[in-house]
Amino acid sequence: MNRFTTDSVIAVIGAGTMGAGIAQVAANAGHPVLLFDAAEGAAKRGIDNTAKGLAKLVERGKMSQTDVDALLSRLTPVDALTDLAPASLVIEAIVERLEIKQQVFSQLEEICDASTVIATNTSSISVTAIGSTLKRPQNLVGMHFFNPAPIMKLVEVISGLDTDPGIASDIYALSHRWGKQPVLAKSTPGFIVNRVARPFYAEGLRAYQEGGADIATIDTLMRECGGFRMGPFELMDLIGHDVNYAVTCSVFEAFYNDQRFLPSLIQKELVDAGHLGRKTGRGFYNYSSDAEKPAAVTADAAPAPLSITVEGSLGVAEPLIPMFEAAGIRITRIDNDEVEGMISVGDATLMLTNGQFATLRASETLRPDLINFDLALDYTSAPRIALAPADQASPEALQSAIGLFQAIGKSVTVIDDIPGMVVMRTVCMLANEGFDAVNQQVCDEQAVDIAMKGGGNYPCGPIEWVNKLELSYALDVLDNLMDAYGEDRYRASPLLLRKVAGGA
């Protein structure tokens, strides 16, 4: 039987945006909630701000005034830590400093009942380390909400080395009852989301650093081809480069300088310059009122071809075929299981990127007019496609490729020849990091996908995505990235290797 009921008193320490949001979530679920903040008057201000936010929901018809009044009646500001004694669960949402969290929790152990569960909302500090100075570390659990807490569904339930498994299970069940999507994970650097998400930023930064495409183009490709709500540069500007860079450095250092988490010098330059993103008015983009946001590079119109030849299977790109047919393009199919799937249009050969330079792939296949195209979440609905021509490819071949995709209503972006292009390399690296988290017993595969969709707003779980791509193809992409760069950063997870070897 779960230790928490609707009558259980929930206490929240810290009345900032996150703490007040967590308090709102608990009150909305029917709990009496005590809100404390060390700053005088902050707890009352936090509840007042919650009331203002709820009033807007009433105006938009999202909540009734009766429900809002009931929710607010369950929120009580308190002036002292000792007032939290009745709580069955205390959730901390204060400054990210280990010694302060340890001090607060040690005080709570003296104030609260021995059965009281204490939870930390930390996003980066080890739950095990926080519990190391406590008398009852078995009562400590991580309960990592995402901002804004009333809206974001994910809660990472983190077990430290001494956390009672029964408590973690009860917090998981409680989070479910609060309307959240909880996932269980061990206390390791970055937990799930902040660990698995590192390649989303890192591969965008690497593609930009190598001149693959400009910032606006990379962001647009991740949105319009990858289906992400924001591109990596837009998201880093929103988070704040001081915060995002610090998390990357923290994970990098915690993993003993594993090159997979290597911070970017480009982002460090922004931090050093004080260009922290939206909050300072300048980051990768200029946010001044008179600044225009740059647009993605888009190819000019090219003639539509009359016919194409498709040899072999295009795999995840097969949905393109009926689109070409619907556009009136004559298609000749050649069944050949011994070759990689390809589209021939004029002199051009189009192939889904496999992580190689298009230039190297053209040389190896003796097809000088080879052009790689990037991964898309859904080729049917994606409004844009990205192409990367080999250095040997003729301008005429590139025009044929551009015209083919424009004929089915796609905007076409031509980027420089970089391994894995933009979406493919990012998705494969995200999935690889997810597999590594599973391999190291941090969580299970389902938790990775739930966490990245619920906490990162990803359009698809990365492991789910590469299963659709085919794991063997994702492994080929990673191996080719490794060959191209010679960096340990692109090493394949042992679990991915094992799955492919086992025929998954």
| DSSP states along 310-338 | EES--GGGTTHHHHHHHTT-EEEEE--TT
pLDDT score recorded for residue 1: 62
pLDDT digits (tens, 9 = 90+) for 22-78: 999 999 999 999 999 999 999 999 999 999 999 999 999 999 999 999 999 999 999
Whether 109 is catalytic: no
Whether 194 is catalytic: yes
Query: Can you read off the two tokens belonging to residue 341?
Result: 């799937």
DSSP string, 38-94: SSTTHHHHHHHHHHHHHHHHHHTTSS-HHHHHHHHHTEEEESSGGGGTT-SEEEE--
- Helices 423-439 and 215-224 pack at an angle, to 10 degrees, of 70
Catalytic residue among 8, 123, 139, 244: 123
CB burial readout 67-105, b (16+ within 10 A) else e: ebeebeebbbbbeebeebbebbbbbbbbebeeeebbebb
Q: Is the separation of the CB atoms in 9 and 31 below 8 Å?
A: yes
Starting at the edge strand found earlier in the chain, the sheet holding 307-311 runs: 330-334, 307-311, 342-345, 348-352, 370-373, 384-389, 411-414
Whether 31 is catalytic: no
pLDDT score recorded for residue 394: 98
In this structure, whether the domain defined by 307-414 belongs to CATH 1.10.10.10 is answered with no
Catalytic residue among 28, 31, 139, 144: 144
What distance in Å separates the CA atoms of residue 318 and residue 341, rounded to the nearest whole number? 9
pLDDT score recorded for residue 124: 84
CATH C-level class of 195-280: mainly alpha
β pairing state of 370-373 and 348-352: parallel
3-class state of residue 108 by DSSP? helix
pTM confidence score: 0.94
* Domain(s) of CATH 3.30.750.190: residues in the chain: 307-414
* Domain(s) of CATH 1.10.1040.50: residues in the chain: 195-280
Tell me which architecture the domain covering 10-187 has in CATH.
3-Layer(aba) Sandwich (3.40)
Whether 123 is catalytic: yes
Comparing CA positions, the residue from 374, 349, 350, 370 lying closest to residue 361 is 370
pLDDT score recorded for residue 356: 98
Catalytic residue among 194, 244, 250, 480: 194
**Alpha carbon distances (Å) from 497 to 211, 432, 492:** 31, 10, 7
Catalytic residue among 156, 203, 224, 464: 156
User: Could you say which residues of the chain have pLDDT below 70?
Assistant: 1
What distance in Å separates the CA atoms of residue 263 and residue 37, rounded to the nearest whole number? 34
* Domain(s) of CATH 3.40.50.720: residues in the chain: 10-187
pLDDT score recorded for residue 483: 97
